[in-house]
């Protein structure tokens, strides 16, 4: 059998810069941004709550994520890009780091009265130069954008009340929808012991430019202007300063954080990240002839009346039941 030919890929070189700003109307800055070129790791956290301890939550989350990647940097460099289940190792590490950050924020929030109620959103990006992959994980409404070929694309989906309505209650009438608060985040580090991070992997293409930012930028500066700025200024340091200035020029109602990453090298064309793996290799020993073609968590071998919703904790319960069943 002839294997598919992978698209040509040049060595990936990254150029990045970060900046945060208090904005025009806030009395302190709770946004934190990280550039770790040595780890190919880039993070933005937007803290809130806890007697103005949002900056503590954001800083703690950033430090935890960076420390986790520093500890496993050699394993990531020398190990395979995909595990035996076809999951990108870098993506799993990124999600694990965010879960570790949530535990640290929760622990401090519970142990200190002045930090009680603090939390933070997070968006993090990790590049794998060997494969030319980008892994993006986020919790909350901090975003990641990609400028490619002059087109700006939002790679993350806000974890907001309006998104939840779209996914779970699209039939909600306009009158009820109008009564809902418009800027509510439904996921953040520090909200609960268990956190759900959205994680995706993408192939990096020569000339890609990525923007990680808090809502102090994305909610104030139109996407068209973000695209123009990313395209116009090739030097990331100048680009982030220009983005901060645009947000402040529009009133600067919130703290502002931006990380810009310019990519030199990478793939000549984009394919789905999973297309780089060999299906036979990554599924070897996982499936058996007796496995059903499709297994839906919480539905197999259950009466319709007993089928749980897979939203929130019910998904975790269904996973626990499935893993317990397989272990017996």
pLDDT of residue 43: 98
pLDDT of residue 131: 84
Nearest-angstrom CA–CA distance, 34 and 71: 17
pLDDT in tens, 110-151: 998 889 999 999 999 999 988 899 999 999 999 999 999 999
Q: Are 258 and 212 in contact (CB under 8 A)?
A: yes
pLDDT of residue 136: 98
Write the DSSP symbol of residue 205. B
Please determine, looking at this structure, whether the domain spanning 10-283 carries the CATH number 3.40.50.300: no
Q: Are 164 and 181 in contact (CB under 8 A)?
A: no
pLDDT in tens, 154-168: 999 999 888 888 888
pLDDT of residue 15: 97
Write the DSSP symbol of residue 185. B
Write the DSSP symbol of residue 36. E
In terms of Cβ atoms closer than 10 Å to its own Cβ (0-12, 13-18, 19+), residue 64 is buried
Name the one residue in this structure whose structure tokens are 């139109």: 222
Residue 285: C-alpha distances to residues 36, 55, 89, 130, 280 (Å) = 37, 46, 19, 26, 10
| CATH 3.60.40.10 intervals, the chain | 10-283
Mean pLDDT per block of 10 residues along the chain (328 residues) reads 52 95 95 97 92 91 97 79 84 96 96 92 94 95 97 96 83 83 88 95 95 98 98 97 98 97 85 57 50 56 47 56 57
pLDDT in tens, 208-225: 999 999 999 999 999 999
User: pTM (2 decimals)?
Assistant: 0.84
Nearest-angstrom CA–CA distance, 89 and 270: 20
């Amino acid at each position: 059998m002839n294997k598919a030919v992978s698209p040509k890929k040049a060595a990936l070189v990254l150029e990045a810069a970060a900046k945060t700003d208090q904005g025009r109307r806030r009395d302190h800055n709770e946004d934190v941004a990280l550039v770790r070129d040595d780890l190919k790791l880039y993070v933005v956290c937007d803290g809130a709550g806890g007697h103005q301890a949002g900056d503590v939550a954001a800083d703690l989350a950033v430090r935890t994520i960076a420390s986790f990647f520093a500890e496993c940097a050699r394993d990531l460099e020398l190990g395979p890009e995909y595990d035996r289940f076809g999951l990108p190792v870098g993506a799993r590490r990124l999600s694990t780091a965010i879960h570790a950050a949530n535990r640290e924020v929760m622990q401090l929030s519970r142990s200190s009265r002045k930090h009680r109620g603090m939390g933070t959103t997070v968006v993090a990006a990790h590049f794998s130069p060997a494969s030319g992959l980008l892994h993006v994980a986020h919790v909350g409404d901090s975003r990641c954008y990609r400028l490619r070929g002059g087109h700006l694309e939002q790679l993350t989906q806000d974890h907001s009340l309006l998104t939840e309505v779209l996914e779970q209650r699209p039939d909600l009438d306009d009158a009820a929808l109008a009564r809902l608060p418009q800027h509510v985040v439904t996921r953040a580090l520090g909200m609960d012991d268990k956190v759900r991070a959205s994680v995706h992997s993408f192939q990096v293409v020569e000339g890609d430019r990525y923007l990680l930012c808090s809502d102090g930028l994305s909610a104030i500066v139109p996407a068209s202007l973000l695209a123009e700025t990313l395209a116009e200024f090739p030097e990331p340091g100048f680009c982030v300063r220009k983005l901060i200035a645009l947000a402040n020029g529009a009133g600067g109602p919130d703290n502002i954080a931006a990380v810009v990453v310019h990519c030199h090298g990478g793939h000549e064309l984009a394919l789905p990240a999973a297309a780089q793996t060999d299906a036979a290799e990554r599924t070897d020993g996982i499936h058996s002839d007796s496995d059903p073609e499709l297994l839906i968590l919480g539905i197999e071998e259950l009466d319709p009346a007993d089928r749980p919703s897979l939203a929130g904790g019910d998904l975790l319960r269904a996973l626990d039941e499935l893993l317990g069943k397989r272990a017996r």
